[in-house]
Structure 1
């Protein structure tokens, strides 16, 4: 009896030792992907994949940098891989070779523009919106609104949502140099709700009753993508498959090189 008990203790101890030594899968990058897909479903993703997750929301471009440096096994990005790579390579020529990276689309989000409820401006054309976000228009009265200075609230440079707007709406130009850049995308709507002259670049799904979604003829669809470097391990592959189940469309994988 004592021999059986000792054997059971040995088996249990071995299992615990294996679990403790197993390295978590690290996902770094887009706070949009993190907040919309990964964090809300973390327990289910870990259960389905059999892997523990280590999650860092530090922006799409920083996530790619961490992937390349070995700090992360998966980068989360919320703009096309081509856009993100081009942005990075503009700063340091040919730093990233797209052919080394594999993009796995796991969902999508609509980009929206939020204003304070008291703002009488409820809609803008694409051209007006571009002028507001770029800083060309600096007061709401210039677009038929109140005499209030405009505060653009957005994510940090390198964030996928910001990159999508700069690439698709501003033709590659940057948002206003005076924009207030938030470290976490979830903070943007909160700031807009407190500042009457603010306009925020947000994921449509994050808009609540504290702000108003600005109507516009511009539609920007933001891809939610997981990126890996070279062939994935089985453990990483299981995490990608598990995350994809919570996206808005079936997972597709491709090499963007």
Structure 2
């Protein structure tokens, strides 16, 4: 009996450790680029692809995405969304400082010296503005093997859990909406889905508390999913969906296409 108890405890510890390793932390940056500086920004993006790959190789981050906005915001507000992925909250909050990026730039582009690398970063600051930065923690996701590639479509839904209904909202996402998205994925109508919670403390005046990432391989899959209606849903399931919708306020929906994903 004692051996069985010890075995069960060790098994639980392994499961917890695996779950901790799989948990993702993400920094979303919403970037504004003036129309006459778009070429310079995209040229800098190509330069940074190798820089972020070097940071991944050094295990400072686990990935980096660049998304171009298709709809959901005033074009003057921002046009791009970047996502930097981390394994833990400490690494996320420490982030990549300018000195780290310069070091990785010289490794990724060995023909550059420090002053040349620093000039590239300084020039890049003049071609873009950081409109907003959001720190998020993934708390639920579907089971899928979706591979990000150029042209992938994403709907970033910014939510605010209503006051007093924070736990109710998360429960609805996990128990109601996650299963709906999983069903769509199993039917080939969606690529991936995940629920994120803000990783920093916030007050009642916070604009958003959660974000859902709805991923599709292309526009065809996206529009097929919009037209899809699960005729097998029961009355109880429909009521659960309606109750879940009343626990949050959908603040914004941003539709974006993937320019590049570094892993």
Report TM bin, short chain: under 0.3
Structure number with higher relative contact order (C-alpha < 8 Å, ≥ 6 residues apart): 1
Normalising by structure 1, what TM-score?
0.27
Which structure carries more strand by proportion?
2
